[in-house]
Amino acid sequence: MNIVIIDYGMGNLRSVYNKFQRLGASCQISADPNVIAKAHALILPGVGHYGRAMDKLQRLNLIPILNERVLEARIPVMGICLGMQLLTEHSEEGDAAGLGWISGSTVRFEQKENKNLKIPHIGWNSVTATRQHPILDGLQPEEAFYFVHSYHVRLTNPNDALHRTHYRHDFVSAVQKDNILGFQYHPEKSQEAGVQLFQNFLASVKTPAYV
């Protein structure tokens, strides 16, 4: 089992790598298409700017191999924070097209009706599952995770939502479609809940039908 964490110049790669290493998983950080082509699962982490992230993926020529592995080979993939947002079709941040694996867009938190709304949304917040899924096994009904973000995902198909969170208004905090998973929060910074989520993901890699 080989997990590849996609290195496209954005933040939090090392913290994700360290968490998987502590769980005994075989993983590596790479931007090499040949390495990605042999991966059993992919992690798309990230903290940064959506438009610049997509530009970097394009300049590294990673989008074709990512599409091949995720959409054709259908290996499990996990997007974290910016990585989840990149799964969508478009973002207001940089007015940029995304990977388009999840139908929807990435939009900034609205402050028009909430002048006191602090952006970015930083800190611990609870999540509510919208449906059952094995990736959520062992989590509490109102589990808390750690967030740092100014943008959130607005789905075209609400059935793709896995978690929702309230921050003055409800927003999608996790998505799942077939082999594609995305988490707006940071499992690698979320203590026991994050460990459980990563363990469940590792189980999905061992048994692909699990996702």
Q: Which is catalytic among the residues 27, 152, 163, 188? A: 188
- Does 166 qualify as catalytic in the annotation? no
Active site residue 188: yes
113 flagged as catalytic: no
Catalytic member of 27, 40, 81, 92: 81
Instruction: Please check whether residue 111 is in contact with residue 151, taking contact to mean a CB–CB distance below 8 angstroms.
Output: no
Give the active site residue among 121, 152, 163, 186: 186
Residues with a catalytic annotation lie at 81, 186, 188
